[in-house]
Structure 1
Amino acid sequence: MYIPSHFAENRPDQLHRIMREHPLGVLVTQGTGGLDADHLPFEFDPDVGPHGLLSAHVARSNPLWQRCLTGTQVMVVFRGAQAYVSTNWYPTKHESHQQVPTWNYEVVHAQGILTVRDEERFVRRIVARLTRRHEVGEHRPWRMGDSTPEFIDGMLRNIVGLEIGVTSLVGKSKLSQNKALRDRSGAADELQARGHDELAQRMRPAEGS
């Protein structure tokens, strides 16, 4: 990934935030058939290993877990807030006409080593963690206990767990840091007006900076 120095995101707390707030990662693998990508919701534990641990699961019918054996090097891409930015949103464009459109975004590339976890206890735990996390905003959060044990047991037999011991995290936050403050603020205002609240918030300089 090309990362100009002014867009480099090296702060662990921000890298973890992007992964936590946008957990649907793209698992990129390479085998004899070439490159492949699977879109999976991940759980991230920053306290395991030097750079953290990613956990997920796939359908047993997905050939990924047999094609990419334990020890395979993989990459997971987490894309955060993103949107198109028009030159019309920059005040200086109307003065000098020396601006071009762009696309702002946040992204993290997590590289690591894959471990296949074909164990009932592991997949039960990861499913419980995922549902507990993502059901928290529901009026009546779903739990595995809401279904019969026979049904849940059957579903768990049809999935296989994955762990990725992260070896490196590389981040990029392209948020108009290379623009004048009024251009950056103007673009943020327009993005917020169009419903891109998260990206607009990230583009606004922190107070005191």
Structure 2
Amino acid sequence: MYSPEQFAEPRIEVMQDLIRQYPLATLVTLAGDGLNANHIPLHLCGDGSAYGCLRGHVARANPLWRADESSAELLAIFQTPNAYISPSWYASKRETGRAVPTWNYAAVHAYGRLQAVDDPVWIRDQIVAMTAAQEAAFAEPWAVADAPADFTERLLTQIVGIEIRITRLLGKWKVSQNQPAANRSSVIAGLRETGHDDMADLVAERSESAARNPPET
């Protein structure tokens, strides 16, 4: 991933927070028939390593889980909501006219190798953990145990667990931090007016960080 220094995010905990908040991954694998991509929610778990591991499950009919027969590295891409940035939002545009459109986003690339886990107990534990994490914000969270046991037991036979031990993480936050403070403020306002509150929050967070930690002169 091309990532100029001003957009690079090296902090492991920040990248892990993005994975937890936006767990739907684009999982890119390379097999004998070429590149393939699947969109799968993955649950970040601690395993004693620096990066942790990703756990999920796929339909038994999905050939992805057989990728563990190969030693090829795979890539899981996690991304926040993204947003078009209009040059008309920039405060400096009214002064100089020198502005062009761009696109804001934040993304994490997680690398590792896939291992299939065809164990109903492991798969159930994985589903319970992922469900609990996603349901935690609800007033009345749903739990796997709420469904009839015979129903869930039958479904467990139709899926296979996957685990990816992360070997490296790359993060990129392209959220207007290359713009002067006045432009960042106007971008935040423009994003909120167009309903992109998630991106507005990211720009505001980086803008506040820049204000607290100005570059040395």
| Category of TM-score, reference length = shorter chain | over 0.9
- Residue 140 of structure 1 deviates from its aligned partner by 2.9
Separation in 2 of the partners of 1:17 and 1:186? 27
Separation in 2 of the partners of 1:132 and 1:9? 28
Deviations 1:146-190 (A, max 9, x none): 222211111011110000010000000001111111011110111
Residue pair 1:74, 1:113 contacting (<8 A) in 2 also: yes
- Give percent identity, aligned residues only: 37
- Residue 130 of structure 1 deviates from its aligned partner by 1.4
Matching residue of 1:208 = 212
Change (3 A) 1:12 1:67: closer
Q: How does 1:1-209 map to 2 (within 5 A)?
A: 1-69=1-69, 71-204=71-204, 205-206=207-208, 208-209=212-213
Q: Which amino acid aligns with 1:81?
A: P
Bigger strand share: 1
- Residue 82 of structure 1 deviates from its aligned partner by 1.2
Residue pair 2:30, 2:72 contacting (<8 A) in 1 also: no
Equivalent position SS for 1:7:
coil
Separation in 2 of the partners of 1:122 and 1:163? 11
Separation in 1 of the partners of 2:106 and 2:86? 18
Long gaps (5+) in structure 2: none
Residue pair 1:116, 1:163 contacting (<8 A) in 2 also: yes
The TM-score, its normalising length taken from structure 1, stands at 0.94
Change (3 A) 1:127 1:70: farther
Q: Which amino acid aligns with 1:166?
A: I
Residue pair 1:71, 1:115 contacting (<8 A) in 2 also: no
- Residue 52 of structure 1 deviates from its aligned partner by 1.1
Separation in 2 of the partners of 1:129 and 1:160? 16
- Residue 67 of structure 1 deviates from its aligned partner by 4.1
Equivalent residue pairs, number: 209
Residue pair 1:109, 1:169 contacting (<8 A) in 2 also: yes
Separation in 2 of the partners of 1:182 and 1:12? 30
Separation in 1 of the partners of 2:2 and 2:17? 21
- Residue 33 of structure 1 deviates from its aligned partner by 1.0
Separation in 1 of the partners of 2:182 and 2:27? 38
Separation in 1 of the partners of 2:79 and 2:30? 20
Q: Which amino acid aligns with 1:13?
A: E
Separation in 2 of the partners of 1:6 and 1:46? 29
Segments of 4+ moved more than 6 angstroms: none
Long gaps (5+) in structure 1: none
